[in-house]
Chain A
Amino acid sequence: MSPSVRLQEMIRVIRGARTQGEERGVIQRECAAIRAQFRQADNGTRSHNLAKLLYVHMLGYPAHFGQMECVRLIASPRYNEKRVGYLGAMMLLDEKQDASLLITNSIKNDLSHSSQYVQSLALCTLGCMGSAEMCRDLAPEIDRLLRASNSYIKKKAALCAVHIVRKVPELGELFTPASRSLLSEKNHGVLHGAVVLITELCERNPETLEQFRKAVPELVQIMKGLVMSGYSPEHNVAGISDPFLQVRILRLLRILGRNNETASDAVNDLLAQVATNTDSSKTAGSAVLYETVLTVMDIKSESGLRVLAVNILGRFLLNNDRNIRYISMTSLQKIVQTDHNAVQRHRGTIVDCLKDQDASVKRRALELSLALVSAVNIRSLMKELLLFLSSCPPELRAHTTSGIFNAAERYAPSQRWHIDTILHVLTTAGGDVRDETVPNLIQLITTATELHCYTVHKLYRALIADISVQSLVQVACWCIGEYGDLLLRGECEETEPVQVAEDDVLDALETVLQSHMSSPATRGFALTATMKLSTRITHNVDRIRSIVSIYGSCIDVELQQRAVEYNALFKKYDHMRYPALSTTALGPVSSTAGGDLLDLLGGLDVTPGETRSLPPSVIVYEKNGVTLKLQTDRQTDTGMTITLTATNSTDREITSLTLQAAVPKSVQLQMKAPSGDVIPAHGLGQVTQTVLLNNPNKVSLKMRVRVCYTSQDFVCQDTVQIDSFPSPAW
């Protein structure tokens, strides 16, 4: 029986095992037999036993006891044993195994073997798993083979040299002379190896790169020969003559032409020729065109050539092959900043790719579309993006909304368009927008004074249609609270007005308050809006009063607190209600007794806030005769400087005064040293402290301040929340 059948027999038996356990049993038996065979003297079956072991190894079982057998077989004079031995070495030995060093001598001998197939085994193994030490040892041998051998060996020696240079970069110098002369070879295998080797050398050594720039004309000739030659059966792939070699030459030309005018000039014509003569109907041609495009974009090409390259990418976008569309988009993404206008010409095709089936293509199309937004195309492009949003895959929604908002902020042609766009996004994908959307939109609406009527009508309509999207409901509630009077007036220039009665509006707000879909923050908005309406409506104040008092015993602490304060506004401070709730009044001020530092920091992001301009200095805390005032000294759009001033109207001085502050996540806070910690009695003195706020992300500014002091032997501690800051003193 021929030994090879025994290998196949073993494979058959292993595959026949019905369970993992059975397989393990078979393999254990076989391995034991193999181990026994290894220990015996040479009996002609060594190579087959090793082959069996290699199969077992591929199944995932340990095979380290075969390492020494590999070493032995490699040293055998017989080709069949060497062949399997070298294969085993590549599979079982890597440079980390000590045994790998033992084969260095065999490799050295085999590199000079009389049979080129033995030489080939040695070269292949060295090029696959040669360690740095082995490479240093054998590099001179490889260099010799590069110069004087047949093309079969030369091509392998070239790639072996590539491996050596990767392992021991200094040895690059050794191979440079030989690699230069290899460029005059006609054999494609050798030429390919030479180009790969030269590429590696140039990438690692700038001096070598400089040297090889002189070879550019030669490379151009070779390339021209490939492109313009007729059909060559030996190297033809789908009408392209040796695409593998063409691509490697193009890559080398890219490296040589980068940042160098002369070299780039020399290849301009060639690149144009390749671009126009290469048939891209199959992958081989597209691969060459792709490499050409990459080269054109990376070297100093003429602008005409760059446009040609971008047009190739544009053509790729229309290709049926999904891979080619994907490649095109990744390339366009890389150049959209530098060659913006050229890419803009293909905007239509890119936008069409938003409808592609493939998720990766969609994602790329989105990135590109967002990069292409400009003041000129914002209206039409936004239509496409909003259409995309309505059907885009869930994992892309957050990114899309974010991109749409950025684009709208930068290029909105009008405030009304801006508001409409944001509302559209909220209606379509309100659950996937970032947190700052609500305060940002509120800010935008506030500044668009002529559109208040329009906006409140739109938002009211949206609210009665659907209350599930929290961000939209929050903005709608706020808007109704602020501009409810405009809504009730029943007239609007910009849009069809609704005929709405006070009860209808209160119904809508109460639905939000009561719905299980509404988050606590949303309820807060609805409650505040209801309260604000008490100053804007005439007939239903009692209804509002009753809603508010109900929530005074709500389980949700935030809501309860608000309701209690609003109740207080009704009862004790009714004279303040109008000033407090009219559109230019103070924001709500709350205080909580006690609490940890965690309380101080927590909750700042959750509670919605508003930033409006107010009278210069405002009292933020007033208790036990201690008054804390806040004044804005300076305000820019990324920060502000405020001063806190504490005074004392009691008849004993206040001591150990400390102020601590906390701000939202992205805001930076710096508290300067206070002027002191003792506040004289009878208002005869004060303590001031300056606070610097840096708000690079321009989020809505809020602050919590904790006031601690000792008054008449009692230690007091309170926290105040500041939602709005007064406008600067000058």
Chain B
Amino acid sequence: MMHFLLLFSRQGKLRLQKWFTPIPEREKKKIVRDMTTMVLGRKPRSCNFLHWKDLKIVYKKYASLYFCCGLDAEENELLALEVLHRYVELLDKYFGNVCELDIIFNFEKAYFILDEFLLGGEVQETSKQVVSRSIEASDMLQEVSERPCSR
């Protein structure tokens, strides 16, 4: 399973953090610090896999954002790269040519999309279209419930 998923910028600013195991707040901060230091310190042409404690770390840079996840040791790293890529595709479809600013100003949407793609650290839906349709439907429902007449 995936233990956590982090998105951070080149300057180490956190843009999204999803934790799939219960961890104290202080330790979360430490993990974020460790991840940003390790990943930002990698040479440009290194491979995308690292070891940290007993976890495999898989990361990929998309434009100005680093997508970094921590996995159990028996996970398939190449598949994890596909998972990260799928998430980026979903964001891209939703926001239309997604960029870091989209994720900053609409962070809650980024979480909603993630929650339709992963659940409990595992992939819940393997079809891009199904995920996109679910998000659209949820957004529609949200819009309806926000209107004053629906009180």
Contacts and interface: CB of A to CB of B under 8 A. Distances in A.
Given A60-B29, A358-B47, A79 B145 contact: yes
A117 B138 contact: yes
B119 interface: yes
A397 interface: no
Contacts, number: 153
A8 B108 contact: no
B112 A87 contact: yes
B88 interface: no
Contact of A162 (B22, B120, B129): B120
A247 interface: yes
Contacts of B16: 58
Interface residues of B, number: 55
A624 B49 CA distance: 70
B108 A51 contact: yes
A87 B130 CA distance: 21
Interface string B61-100: 0000000000000001111011101100000000000000
Interface stretch (A237-245, A554-562, A653-661): A237-245
A11 B105 contact: yes
Interface stretch (A320-328, A409-417, A508-516, A528-536): A320-328
Contacts of A115: 141
A327 B130 CA distance: 31
A189 B126 contact: yes
A152 B134 contact: yes
A192 interface: yes
B111 interface: yes
Nearest to B118: A159
Contacts of B123: 192, 244
Nearest to A8: B105
B82 A243 contact: yes
A112 B22 CA distance: 26
B120 A159 contact: yes
Contacts of A204: none
B112 A159 contact: no
Contact of B79 (A80, A152, A155, A287): A287
Contact of A127 (B14, B29, B120): B120
Interface in B28-85: 29, 43, 45-49, 76-79, 81-83, 85
Contact of A156 (B124, B126, B129, B137): B124
A358 B45 contact: yes
Given A80-B142, A286-B78, A360 B46 contact: yes
Contacts of A188: 125-127
A287 B76 contact: yes
Interface in B1-40: 14-17, 19-20, 22-24, 29
Contacts of B23: 94
A77 to B, nearest CB: 9
Contacts of A163: 120
B82 A284 contact: yes
B26 to A, nearest CB: 11
A124 B115 contact: yes
Interface string A12-24: 1001000000000
A357 B115 CA distance: 38
A361 B111 CA distance: 35
Nearest to A234: B127
B81 to A, nearest CB: 6
Contacts of A160: 119-120
A15 B45 CA distance: 32
A8 to B, nearest CB: 5
Contact of B150 (A54, A78, A286, A294): A78
A335 interface: no
A324 B48 CA distance: 10
Contacts of A78: 145-146, 150-151
Contacts of A234: 127-130
A11 B16 CA distance: 14
A290 B76 contact: yes
Nearest to B16: A58
Contacts of B107: 54-55, 58
Contacts of B116: 120
Contacts of A51: 108
Contact of B14 (A15, A58, A94): A58
A261 interface: no
Given A80-B142, A96-B22, A155 B125 contact: yes
B30 to A, nearest CB: 12
Contact of A94 (B22, B48, B120, B145): B22
Nearest to B58: A323
Nearest to B22: A94
A290 B74 CA distance: 12
Closest 3 CB pairs of A and B: A287-B78, A127-B120, A79-B145
Given A156-B124, A189-B126, A189-B127, 5 more contacts: A60-B14, A78-B146, A159-B119, A192-B124, A247-B79
Interface of B: 14-17, 19-20, 22-24, 29, 43, 45-49, 76-79, 81-83, 85-86, 104-105, 107-108, 111-112, 115-116, 119-120, 122-130, 134, 137-138, 141-142, 144-146, 148, 150-151
30 contacts: A11-B104, A12-B105, A59-B14, A79-B145, A84-B108, A87-B108, A87-B115, A96-B24, A159-B122, A163-B120, A188-B127, A189-B126, A189-B130, A192-B124, A196-B122, A235-B126, A243-B79, A283-B85, A287-B79, A287-B81, A291-B79, A294-B76, A323-B47, A323-B78, A326-B47, A327-B49, A327-B77, A357-B45, A358-B46, A359-B46
